[in-house]
Amino acid sequence: MCNLKEIPNLTALVRLEELELSGNRLGRVRPGSFQGLGSLRKLWLMHARVAAVERNAFDDLKALEELNLAHNELASLPHDLFAPLHRLERVHLHHNPWRCDCDVLWLSWWLRETGISPEG
């Protein structure tokens, strides 16, 4: 809740395990935003006005177990966004204005295939 408009450079925090960026005005999550955060296990981006997550935005987060994108402005997510996140156990996606079309169908298949249930 620091009124951030973009994700700051956090590459020096190589041992960081939890990151809370909720309550900001991020708008878009881009590839490289979490570069160097290979130890990050939990990422919270609730109420951060995220309207778009670009393809490969979370690729650097190999240890990520929990991702919270609830209460944002997401209408869709890029296909296979979570594919590199082999340790992901919990994903929070509720309270977003999802567009119910073929572009989000992959997400339903992915949730069913992995056994991960969306929290919330």
Is-above-0.85 flag for pTM? yes
pLDDT in tens for each of the 120 residues of the chain?
A: 788 999 999 999 999 999 999 999 999 999 999 999 999 999 999 999 999 999 999 999 999 999 999 999 999 999 989 999 999 999 999 999 999 888 888 988 888 888 886 665
Q: Does domain 1-120 have CATH number 3.20.20.70?
A: no
Identify the pLDDT of residue 117: 67
Query: Would you say how long the chain is, in residues?
Result: 120
Distance CA 9, CA 112 (A): 34
With vertex at residue 58, the alpha carbon angle to CA 56 and CA 62, rounded to the nearest 5 degrees, is 115
HEC profile for 46-111? CCCCCCEECCCCCCCCCCCCEEECCCCCCCCCCCCCCCCCCCCCEEECCCCCCCCCHHHHHHHHHH
Identify the pLDDT of residue 115: 80
